[in-house]
Structure 1
C-alpha cells in the first residue's frame, strides 16, 4: 500500500475529492491508511473522507479485537462521515444503545471525536418488522425505518456507505434527502435480490450464491431511486 501511494505521489496523481474505506483485518494497514489520509488531506484540505468502520454485527466482532482502538482513536477522528452499525458504534464509544435517547448519545460521542456526519446504518430500535437508521449532521438528526427481509445478505453495509457518499455529493449534503435515497436504493435492491432468489428456490434457507446483491440489474434504481419511505426529523 505504501509503495502504491508513493507511486501516485511521484506521478502527481494524488489529488482526490473523496475517499471511502471499508473492511480491513489488519491494524497495521489501518494505521498506514491514517497516514495516507493525512497526506491526501494536505494535498486537498477539502477532501471528504468516509469511513465505514467494519468490525462486526449482532453482538459479535468478525475482525481482530486490536483493530478497535485503531478505528476509535486514529482513523475515525480523521473522518468527515462515518457509517457504523449499532454494534460498531457501541464498540467505539463504550456506550449501549437501548433506545433512541441512547442512540443520540452515542452519535454525539462520535461527533465529539471530530466527525461532522454520523450515520448509524442499522439499529435494532424498530419493531419486529423494521430496522432503523439514524443520521446526524450540523445539529440535525433524521430517523428512517427499513422493512426487514427474511434473509441475510452480504455487502449491504458496503453499499450503504457508498450510496451515502454519492448522494451526499449529489444532494449538496441534504441529510434528509440523502438518507431517503440511500434507503430507497437499498430496499429496492434487497427486495429484488430476494424475489429473484425465491423464484429459483421457493422454500427453505437459500444459499449465499442466490443472495448476491443484484447491483448491475438495478443500475437504473441506483441512478434514480423512487423514494417510498420518508425520513423523520428527531
Structure 2
C-alpha cells in the first residue's frame, strides 16, 4: 500500500487535502463551541436589558398616573399619603420629574399648610439629588418648580415708583415666580430700607435670586431672615420696596 501511494502522488495529495480539510473543520467546530455560548450570552443580556428598560418605563408611567390621581384627589388623607410617598421617592432620587410642576401647584393651592410644606420638601430633595448626580436637566426642572411654588409678596410704600414696582413684578413672573399682587403699605410698618425677607432657611436661595434680579433693575435690597411668631410652612418671600 505504501508502495502504491508512493507511485500515486495525485491520490496522496487528495488524501492530504482531505486530512487538512478535516482538521480545519475540527478547528472551526472548536471555535464555534466557544463563540456560540458567548454570542448567546451577549444577546441574552441585551434582551434582558431591553426588557428591563421597557419594564421600568411602564413602571414609571404607572407611578406617574397613580400619583397624579392621588394628588388631585378631593380626599385630604389620600393627598397627604401620596405626598408622603412622593417625599420618600424624592429622597432616593426616584421621584418622576414630570410631576414637579404638579407638586408646585399643590404647594400653592392646597389649603393645608402641612401639605404645602411636604410638597416643597419634595422639590428641594429632588433638586439636591439631581445636583449630586450631576443631572442638570432634572435639577433645572426642580428649581423651576421651586420658583413656581414660592409665593412672592410685593409690598411698596405709597411714594415708591409704581413703574419700577410693576416692572419688577413682571420680571419675577417671567422668571417663574408666583406673585399674588402688589400691596401698598404705610411708611410706619415698612423697614428703613428695601428688603427681601424670607422665613425658612430653605428659601434663602430664592431670596438671593430675587435680590439679584432687583439689582439688575437698579434696586438694592438687603436679604433678611425673619423669625415669625408662628411657623410658616409654605415657601414664602416678601419684597418690601421703599424709596
The structure that has the greater radius of gyration is 2
TM-score by length of 2: 0.27
Structure 1 or 2: more helix by fraction: 2
Higher relative contact order (CA 8 A, sep 6+): 2
TM-score by length of 1: 0.28
Structure 1 or 2: more strand by fraction: 1
